[in-house]
Amino acid sequence: MRVERASRTLGARVQGVDLGRPLDADTFDSVRDALNRHSVLVFPEQEVEPPAQVEFSARFGRLKHHVLKENLLPGMPEIYVLTNMTSQNEVAPRPYAGAYWHTDLSYEAEPAFGSVMYAVEVPEVGGDTMFCSMAAAWDALSERMKALLEGLTATHSFEHAYETFVKHIPGTAPIDRRRFDARPPVTHPLVHTHPESGRRCLYVNPGFTERINELPPAEGEAILAFLYEHCTSERFVYRHRWSRHDVVMWDNRATMHKAVPDYDDGDSRYMRRTTIAGSAPRG
């Protein structure tokens, strides 16, 4: 197994591993170490059937079933299908999923540890995914700013992303209110310690973070806007240009990510994703 860094602060390409079959324990440990070190791993040219994707992902932890049940692979609810087209070649009910900076499931008390995504079909142009390092972004803050942020908490909700971004995307089907009511907002520390690498990481995201709990709204909004600008600046970003049959795995505890919805209408992008359960971030 060879690991080559893909940018200065995060991301690595992993060669010499076949995810289509079970990994031996040493290889698996090396993959987990690489994930803790680089936060985003790209495995090019993989042949991964859904059961193998589930098997590999489940070695990292229990798998989650996504809240949008209609997007699960029939007969295999661990696999969430992200696609812009339906099987009838029509525009899918939720095109351009995740086209805003977010961390998966931060609106849950125990957010996702990470995700594994397999590119079945990629558009001819566009449709990249951007990732940023919340560890490198934290490290680069001044001591004054760190001192201000330490000990703060933020409220996260699923509804926030819907109200702020998702509902404005043309073609988005409305979401039943009861889905929001079933997911009341949660509180997380604004900076947490990564449970494996031990690095301090910012833990807020434009998608799901509603507010900083301990500050007046205007101050909290200004600080969040600054943090989002800071975290997503080029020096902390790895932008993945997908090739068909790439597997990309990311660590939600140390990153945000964003889909770039710039491909042609009618050009198919079809991804299979598994989501690994995680623990509550600890300040």
Among 273, 276, 278, 281, binds ligand OGA (CB under 6 A): 273
Per CB under 6 A, which of residues 232..261 are in contact with ligand OGA? 257, 259
Q: Give residues with Cβ within 8 angstroms of 58, minimum separation 6.
A: 78, 274, 276
Q: Is 278 in the site for ligand OGA (CB under 6 A)?
A: no
The secondary structure of 157-207 as a DSSP string is: -HHHHHHHTGGGSTTPPP--HHHHHTS--EEEESEEE-TTT--EEE---TT
Q: Closest Cα to residue 193, out of 277, 112, 253?
A: 253
Rounded to a whole number of angstroms, the minimum distance from the CB of residue 28 to ligand OGA is 23
User: Among this protein's residues, is 104 annotated catalytic?
Assistant: yes
Instruction: Indicate if 181 belongs to the active site.
Output: no
Known catalytic residue at 257: yes
Among 6, 66, 83, 104, the residue binding Mn ion under the rule CB under 5 A is 104
Binding partner selected for residue 112 from Mn ion, ligand OGA, none, CB under the kind-specific 5 to 8 Å limit: none
Q: Based on the shown chain and the rule CB under 6 A, indicate whether residue 129 belongs to the binding site for ligand OGA.
A: yes
Indicate whether 276 belongs to the interface with ligand OGA (CB under 6 A).
no
Residue 245 is a catalytic residue: no
Strand, coil or helix: what is 278? coil
CB 146 → Mn ion: shortest distance, Å?
A: 27
Q: What angle do CA 281, 282, 283 make, to 5 degrees?
A: 125
Cβ 217 to Mn ion, closest distance in Å?
Answer: 26
Structure tokens of 102?
Answer: 């977010």
Could you say whether residue 104 binds ligand OGA (CB under 6 A)? yes
Residue carrying the six token digits 């440990």 = 29
Q: Which does 78 bind (CB under 5 to 8 A by kind): Mn ion, ligand OGA, none?
A: none
Q: How far is CA 130 from CA 29, 97, 136, 257, in A?
A: 26, 13, 15, 5
Q: Active-site residues: which are they?
A: 102, 104, 257, 273
